[in-house]
Amino acid sequence: MIQRILLLVVIAAACAGPAFAAAGSGSVRPPAPDSLVLTGNPYVDLLGLERMRVAPMQDSLEKNLGEPARKSVWLASGLSIVLPGAGQFYAKSYWKSALFLAIEATAWTLAAVYDGKGDEKTDFFEGLADQNWSVVRYGQYTEQHLTGGRTFNWLVSNDAALPPWDRVDWGELNNMERAFSAQPGGGFYSHTLPRRPEQQYYELIGKYTQYNQGWNDADPTLPPDYSVLNANLTPTFLHYSQLRGEANDYYSVAKTFVTVAIVNHVISAIDAALTASSYNRNLHAEALIRTFPAPGGFTQVPALKLHYNF
């Protein structure tokens, strides 16, 4: 142990000698090219001399402290397909990220709002139909004006306590509608009525004049003439048709905003790919520490290295 201490003392004295000599001379001379320079660090001086043989002002060490990573174009695009703005955030374009995310949130919010309004209006007009339109009344009018001597067993119950839609055989009712449309003057029977509660049931009874006679304020004495029926549509039919149209308008607006959201995904994905590519081409900086030869050893100097990726 004592021998090691003595060895270190000898080495330290040897390293300190040149430094004191330089200080006493009052002037400092830079080391000559390819000369050995003692740093005062025994480990470096004894074991790393060959690595410290340098030319004046030549970098001997660069320590990369912050080289920017390149951005994956495919990852940026994929992130924005899933969530608009995410790819822009990954590519460090934060304002565009916020813009695409705001469009996404707004589009889905408005789509939900208008879809809810459509549902509310639909519930209202369907309730109005259940209270004021009767498939039994419609079937009786159709049977009353049917020609050709054919009969159809479409009415299966006379119990008025049952709802009208539970009192009819829908297959027989549709057969009677087809027979009516084939007779002279019956061409305005253009559709067969779907079963309640299908969406088309509520759609047709407020859209086509052949179903006018099922409303409770219809005149049962009207002849089966399209022009007459068209001129004598009941107020309830017209009001119901307006409500149904308003509901469809709400659904149409909701669908438009869903389309906006989908387009936002596509545009955001394309823009994210372009943004990532632009990021990779932009000017970036590397923070470095460089080691330069100096009198009596070396000195470390912070440096900023600029580079441009093509």
Q: Which two tokens stand for residue 36?
A: 């050995």
Q: Report the interhelical angle of 135-144 vs 170-182 (nearest 10°).
A: 40
CB-based contacts of 242-247 (< 8 A; 24+ apart in sequence) = 243/121, 243/124, 243/125, 243/128, 243/206, 244/125, 244/202, 244/203, 244/206, 244/207, 246/121, 247/118, 247/121, 247/122, 247/125
pLDDT digits (tens, 9 = 90+) for 208-260: 999 999 999 999 888 888 888 888 899 999 999 999 999 999 999 999 999 99
- Write down the pLDDT at residue 133: 98
> Tell me, what's the pLDDT at 229?
80
Tell me the backbone φ, ψ of residue 300, rounded to 5 degrees.
-100, 130
Q: pLDDT tens digits, residue range 122-147?
A: 999 999 999 999 999 999 999 999 99
CB 61 within 8 A of CB 291: yes
The pLDDT value recorded for residue 232 is: 87
Amino acid, res. 47: L
How confident is the model over 155-174, as pLDDT tens digits? 999 999 999 999 999 999 99
How much is the pLDDT for 220? 87
Judged by phi (left if over 0) then psi (alpha if -120 to 50, else beta), residue 179 lies in alpha
User: Can you give the pTM of this predicted structure?
Assistant: 0.66
In this predicted structure, the answer to whether residue 94 has a pLDDT above a threshold of 70 is yes
Rounded distance, CA 111 to CA 14, Å?
83
The whole-number pLDDT of residue 303 equals: 62
Residues near 212 by beta carbon (within 8 Å), at least 6 away in sequence: 218, 229, 232, 233, 234, 237
Predicted confidence at residue 16, as pLDDT, reads 43
Tens of pLDDT, residues 10-37: 444 444 444 334 344 444 444 444 445 5
Angle at 141 between CA 138 and CA 146, to 5 degrees: 125
- pLDDT reading at 189 higher than 70: yes
pLDDT in tens, 32-80: 444 455 555 544 455 444 444 443 434 434 444 444 578 999 999 999 9
